[in-house]
A and B are shown apart, each in its own frame.
Chain A
């Protein structure tokens, strides 16, 4: 019973007083920014990175993870109460959740969302504990060629699953990889693309770039739109779902959990896609599909469970292969590198306390969120009234101070402004920022493996095609690309993202 030992180790790490408090802090912060529209988990995690430098790695990662899944809970609260999704992943929860609230069942809707998320969190934690070691076993057999192909697959899949133009997203990924080249070449010690700045010889800090393109650029995008008046449902009603609601929602929760768990493992899947997919599934399975959009509990329970499950299983590829599937896990990868935890299959053996502590903390965090959030709903609703003109200057301060304190460098603050401008302009051209961040984080690793693979094969490029595992990874990548070229699937993909 090896996994029992692991679980025990994880419990001992996650239940230490210090880690419990950081988990709680992360969950509360996550809920807070989940509730507040205009700020999401990506800039928050980027802003808090400098603070985690002073913490031991497991505490820092536990807190950052808490922000991510806490945001899923918070986002659904506002979706239900004010039809204002705090996060993209809770956009579909508005459809039926808000209708339930209007019918006086807000409390029940919140409880269904929270319990569904909790159930999903529990299952996803078990899946993470069960499958991560298996996947790591496979990854141990990987050579540089396999790793390179895996990264190609990961980056491509992330792009295919995302919305918008495929060509632009691939280009943004490559732009990110290219920006990752800035800095000192590990093999020859030669500084590259430093443009004469000494600071750039250490490379671009991904946290600075992330705060620029997600923090600053989003502020500018938000300020262009006039503030929407928020209508808040004051009557929350009883927190207990009645028997009919319960009977209709639990099967949806179970289905949503499994759908979300699977989609979360896939690179690029993550919380957003799985909530949309779950809603579609529930509507297809329902006996009275016409009730969807009018407050059907299944239309809320399914997506809410799915997005939480996916948020958690998206850590599987990160922790076992060292490949991030979305912007949040890309930041987590960066945080691990900062803390000298080399991401990849070795995390489990070299830092078992970090790995199992993080896994168990996710379960603990989910429990905290259910226990704390239902009674605290009144507080979160009040926070919704916080006007953006108070919020955005505060984000400006957190970004600027956070960037400066990374390295006590003013150069980083100028870089922040530069990437704020760049991010604002390229979103105008319909280019997305998330693929760039993935590329930036993986750039150096990808080059390393590319070089080593060709060194081993004496410059023979067919090495990527003659090694069976590498070949199959590339074939899957090619298959994904071919799939998206099929008109029917392409249309479906566009439809799925229309509501975003």
Chain B
């Protein structure tokens, strides 16, 4: 008899929980366990990791039962996810170099490309608007301090 994964999302979620649970459980071994009456730093995390892995196992097994409802994972939209996350990472990378205002503009401009109705003029306008807003509210108004960057 071949095992088939009938419920893909449940199966992969289960796999994820097993993985993270094991990581926490094994990671906790680096810390003193102690005993129930005097718990060390590793006791509770190890317990949580174990619970998580067991739940994950239950989920994964359930997903393979013949009675499990069939379901497949909807493919992630890599373009949208890549651009949105990329824009945020770019912001983190550029902030210490360019300073806050140029970084905000780039964040808005690059981030806007994730939309399906991207228009560089709209994106540039929103970027300038957000620069003004950040300057007015965050820097002047709330007095937040950002790295000056090479231009500042």
Cα distance, A167 to B49, chains bound together (Å):
16
Known: A223-B115, A430-B13. A393 touches B108 (CB 8 A): yes
Q: What distance in Å separates the Cβ of B49 from its nearest Cβ neighbour in chain A?
A: 6
**B112 A393 Cβ-Cβ under 8 A:** yes
- In the bound complex, residues from chain B placing their C-beta under 8 Å from that of A170 are 55
Interface residues of B in 36-78 (CB under 8 A from A): 36-45, 48-49, 51-52, 55-56, 58-59, 62, 73-74, 76-77
Query: Is A229 an interface residue when CB atoms closer than 8 A count as contact?
Result: no
Query: Is A178 an interface residue when CB atoms closer than 8 A count as contact?
Result: yes
Cα distance, A417 to B134, chains bound together (Å):
20
Query: Is A356 an interface residue when CB atoms closer than 8 A count as contact?
Result: no
- In the bound complex, residues from chain A placing their C-beta under 8 Å from that of B58 are 167
**B52 A190 Cβ-Cβ under 8 A:** no
**B114 A223 Cβ-Cβ under 8 A:** yes
What 0/1 readout, one digit per residue, does chain B (109-152) give for beta carbons within 8 Å of chain A? 00110111111001100110010011000100010111000000
Query: Is B35 an interface residue when CB atoms closer than 8 A count as contact?
Result: yes
**B48 A420 Cβ-Cβ under 8 A:** no
B35, B52, B95, B118: the one contacting A404 at CB < 8 Å is B95
Q: What distance in Å separates the Cβ of B86 from its nearest Cβ neighbour in chain A?
A: 9
Query: Is B104 an interface residue when CB atoms closer than 8 A count as contact?
Result: yes
Cα distance, A54 to B141, chains bound together (Å):
12
Interface residues of A in 399-417 (CB under 8 A from B): 399-401, 404-405, 408, 410, 413-414, 416-417
Cα distance, A318 to B89, chains bound together (Å):
35
Nearest opposing residue in chain A for B137, CB measure: A51
**B13 A417 Cβ-Cβ under 8 A:** no
Query: Is A248 an interface residue when CB atoms closer than 8 A count as contact?
Result: no
- In the bound complex, residues from chain A placing their C-beta under 8 Å from that of B39 are 187, 450-451, 454-455
Query: Is A477 an interface residue when CB atoms closer than 8 A count as contact?
Result: no
Interface residues of A in 409-437 (CB under 8 A from B): 410, 413-414, 416-417, 420-421, 424-426, 428-431
Jot down 13 A-B pairs with beta carbons below 8 A, ordered by A.
Answer: A187-B39, A188-B41, A193-B45, A223-B77, A226-B116, A392-B115, A393-B108, A394-B126, A400-B88, A400-B91, A425-B76, A430-B13, A451-B44
Which B residues form the contact surface with A (CB < 8 A)?
9-10, 12-13, 16-17, 20-21, 24, 27-28, 31-32, 35-45, 48-49, 51-52, 55-56, 58-59, 62, 73-74, 76-77, 80-81, 84-85, 87-89, 91-92, 95-96, 100, 104, 107-108, 111-112, 114-119, 122-123, 126-127, 130, 133-134, 138, 142, 144-146
Which A residues form the contact surface with B (CB < 8 A)?
51, 54, 165, 167-168, 170-171, 174-175, 177-178, 181, 185, 187-188, 190, 192-193, 216, 219-220, 223-224, 226-227, 387-390, 392-394, 396-397, 399-401, 404-405, 408, 410, 413-414, 416-417, 420-421, 424-426, 428-431, 447, 450-451, 454-455, 457-461
Supplied contacts A171-B13, A220-B77, 5 more A-B pairs, CB within 8 Å = A223-B114, A396-B107, A400-B91, A455-B38, A455-B39
Q: Closest 8 interchain pairs by CB? A: A459-B37, A459-B36, A413-B92, A185-B41, A429-B13, A393-B108, A171-B55, A181-B45
